[in-house]
Amino acid sequence: MTPAACRFVGPATFESLSGSPVLTDIFASSQDRESPHIALAQWCQLMIIAPATADLIAKLAGGRTDDVVCLTACALPPSTPVLLAPAMNEQMWQNPITQRNTRTVIETLDYHTVGPDEGWQACRTTGEGRMSEPDQIFESATQLLETQL
């Protein structure tokens, strides 16, 4: 989880719901010789980043690895698909820099996106930028995995 994600929902909640440990710290120690983010990247068959904020997309496009999500994404083998579910305010989504960064991760890193959709946003407005519904993200993830087989 990124520090921003931890401000919305605590890691303990994700651990409880998933039954698995949640990685939040790029400097977390491990009993294995391998760094946790490297082990996670090698184990991963598909990385889904939902929500993918404008900040996170910018970090991925620029190669910044100052949080565990971007660090793990950077360590993925090239054959591991990444699915982003953009979620932000309509003006942020339409910002030319955000659009450029999104094109960069699609064209340079071969990442995939689902959405964003149009609808009610956290900023109490309606417009394009709302994260796709979980079933739509799941369907896109399933299609990506099927194409990998």
Q: Are 32 and 39 in contact, with CB atoms under 8 Å apart?
A: yes
Q: What 3-state class would DSSP assign to 130?
A: strand
pLDDT tops 90 at residue 104: yes
For residue 52, the cross-strand partners are 86
Give percent helix, percent strand, percent coil of the chain, each to the nearest 5. 50, 15, 40
Residue 34, number of CB atoms within 10 A of its CB: 11
Which tokens is 78 given? 């090239």
Percentage of the chain modeled with pLDDT above 70: 93
Alpha-carbon distance values, 74 to 2, 3, 21, 56, 98 (Å) = 14, 18, 20, 13, 19
Between 93 and 20, the more confident residue is 93
Lowest-confidence pick of 106-115, 119-128, 137-146: 119-128
Number of folded domains that form the chain = 1
| Residue 6 annotated in active site | no
Q: What is the CATH number of the domain that holds 117?
A: 3.40.50.1950
Residues paired with 48 in a beta bridge: 83
For residue range 28-38, list pLDDT tens digits in order.
666 666 677 78
Residue among 128, 123, 121, 62 at smallest CA distance from 97: 62
Given the residues 6, 70, 74, 123, the one annotated as active site: 123
Round to whole Å and give the CA distance between 136 and 92.
22
Average pLDDT rounded to a whole number, residues 72-96? 96
Question: Angle at the Cα of 41 (from 130 to 59), degrees rounded to 5?
Answer: 45
Question: Which pTM does this prediction carry?
Answer: 0.87
Domain, as residue range, for 120: 3-148
